[in-house]
Amino acid sequence: MRVLVTGGAGFIGGAIVRQALARGDEVVVLDSLREDVHGAVPSFAPGIRFMRGDVRDADAVADALRGVELVLHQAAKVGLGVDFSDAPDYVSSNELGTAVLLAGMTAAGVRRLVVASSMVVYGEGAYRGPAGITRPAARTVADLDAGRFDPLDEHGNPLTPELISEDAPLDPRNVYAGTKLGQEHLAASWARSTGGSAVALRYHNVYGPGMPQNTPYAGVASLFRSAVERGERPRVFEDGRQRRDFVHVDDVAAANLAAAALERDGFRAYNIGSGDVHTIGELAAELAPAHLPPVITGEYRLGDVRHITASSARARRELDWAPRVPFESGMREFATAPLRAAVR
C-alpha cells in the first residue's frame, strides 16, 4: 500500500514512517521542515519518497497524493504556544492545512484518513463530585495565584478525577485545543461529504526517543529531559500533582497503523493512551538524577488543564490495539535516549 504521512519528518510522524516501512508499505512523506521545529534536515531510510512542502500548498499536496491509498495526517503546530500572537499560525497550520489536504484528497479520490488529534479537545477531564459526573469550569487566575490548583464544583466541593471516554463533552480551552477540534470537525465533514473513512486519534502525552528538545512547543517530558542535559533541575509547574497519561511514541505509531486498517465509513474518534495514570511530579522524578532533583515552582500556565487521563477501551476493542511499553521501562529508555537536533 502507498501511504502519505504528512509531518513524517517529525517526532510521531517519523515513528509511523518506520513502522509503515517495516510492514512493507510504500511511504511518501510531506513535511515543510519548519525551522522552529527542526534543528537539522533529517535523513530518511531508502525507499521513502520525501517531498519538502507545506500542507497549505495545494500543488504540493496534489503531487504528494499521486497514487496514495491512505493518508496519515500528522502535520500540525503543537503545544500551548508562547502567547496569543501564535493564534494565526495555529489556525493556519492546523485548520487551513487540514482543509487543503482534504480538498486534495477529494480531487485525488483518496478515501481513507487517519488524523492526529489530542486529549486537549476535552478541556478539563472527567470528574466525580457529590452529584455524580461533572465538568468543572475553567480555573480562575485568582485560584491559581493562591495555589488552589484542583477544580471544585459550583458549591466549592472537591472533585475526584476519573478516566475520560470519547463520549465526554468536548471543551477546548486554548487556541491549540480549538484547532485540534477544528481538524476533527473538518475530517468528519469530509467523511460525510465523500463517503470516506476518517479516524481521529486523540493522543495523550506522547514521549520517547527523538522528541524535540528546546522549542517552546515541546512536550513536558522533553522539557524535563533537556533541563537535565543542561545540568539543571527540572522545573515542575503548580504542585506537581497534575495527572496525565504518558504513552510511548512506538505505541502511538502502532495505533495509527491499526486505525488505518479500520474498515468503516464515516468518522470515529479514539483515545490513545497507556491507561496508566501518573503525575507530572512523578515524571520529573523518573527523569531527574539524584543530584538534580525536580523543583516544584508553583508557577502555572493559564490555559493548562489540571487532570486529563484517558480511557482507551474503545481503541482496544475496535482497533485491536493495546499499548505495550510500560511507564517505568519507557522512562528508563527515554532518560538516555537521543532527542532531536536542537533548534537554533
Per-residue pLDDT at 215 = 66
How many other CB atoms are found less than 10 A from the CB of residue 190? 23
Q: How distant, in Å, are the alpha carbons of 227, 276, 335 from that of 137?
A: 33, 25, 36
pLDDT tens column, 70-95: 999 999 998 777 688 899 999 999 99
Cell of 216: 517552546
pLDDT tens column, 238-258: 999 999 999 999 999 999 999
* Known catalytic residue at 176: yes
Mean pLDDT of the chain: 92
pLDDT tens column, 10-47: 999 999 999 999 999 999 999 999 877 776 667 788 88
Calculate mean pLDDT across residues 127-151: 90
pLDDT tens column, 289-323: 989 999 999 999 887 889 999 899 999 999 999 99
Q: How distant, in Å, are the alpha carbons of 145, 226, 322, 323 from that of 333?
A: 36, 15, 20, 16
Per-residue pLDDT at 211 = 87
CB 272 within 8 A of CB 255: yes
Q: How distant, in Å, are the alpha carbons of 9, 201, 284, 321 from that of 98?
A: 17, 15, 34, 26
Confidence at 214, pLDDT banded by 50, 70, 90: low
337's CB contacts (< 8 A; 6+ apart) are: 208, 209, 210
Tell me the percentage of the chain whose pLDDT exceeds 70: 96
Given the residues 90, 176, 217, 270, select the one marked as catalytic.
176
